[in-house]
Amino acid sequence: MNEAEKLYEMLKKVQEPKGYFFNKDKERVFDLIDALLINKNRYGYMCCPCRLASGDKEKDRDIICPCVYRVADVEEFGSCYCNLYVSSDWNEGKIPERYIPERRPADKYL
């Protein structure tokens, strides 16, 4: 198993029992897992690939994957901001796929 596959298996084991499933689109999932590993290498922590990291771990704490906004996004839209983690209903097509608006307050980027 390569690093991405190991991370996938580890996260799956931890997150699925909590009700957070990887998107059924495995290509997209591995693209995002590769991006998490790029960010880990770049910043020293696995910052959300779909948000701009500041490089300061304390400032980015809310967007270290899984981000703090995942709970509310999966509850409201069936998917996290990146479409990495989704609910079982989302994977089964019971919830329409839509653009997930950014829940993180803008002032966090300043």
Interface with other proteins (CB under 8 A) = 28, 31-32, 35, 38-39, 49-53, 82-84, 99, 101-102, 106, 109
Whole-number minimum distance, CB 14 to other proteins, in Å?
21
Q: In the structure encoding, which two tokens stand for residue 61, read together? A: 């704490």
Percent composition of the chain: helix, strand, coil (DSSP 3-state, to 5)? 50, 5, 45
- CB nearer other proteins, residue 17 or residue 96: 96
Closest-CA residue to 42 (of 63, 29, 57): 57
Closer to other proteins by CB, 17 or 106: give it: 106
Instruction: Return the number of the residue (65 or 87) whose C-beta is nearest other proteins.
Output: 65
CB of 29 to other proteins, least distance (A): 9
Closest approach, Cβ 63 to other proteins, in A, equals 12
Residues ≥6 apart with Cβ < 8 Å to 54: 60, 109
Q: What's the closest the beta carbon of residue 15 comes to other proteins, in angstroms? A: 17
- The residue behind tokens 């998917």 is 79
Packed helices 26-43 and 3-15: angle between N→C axes, nearest 10 degrees: 110
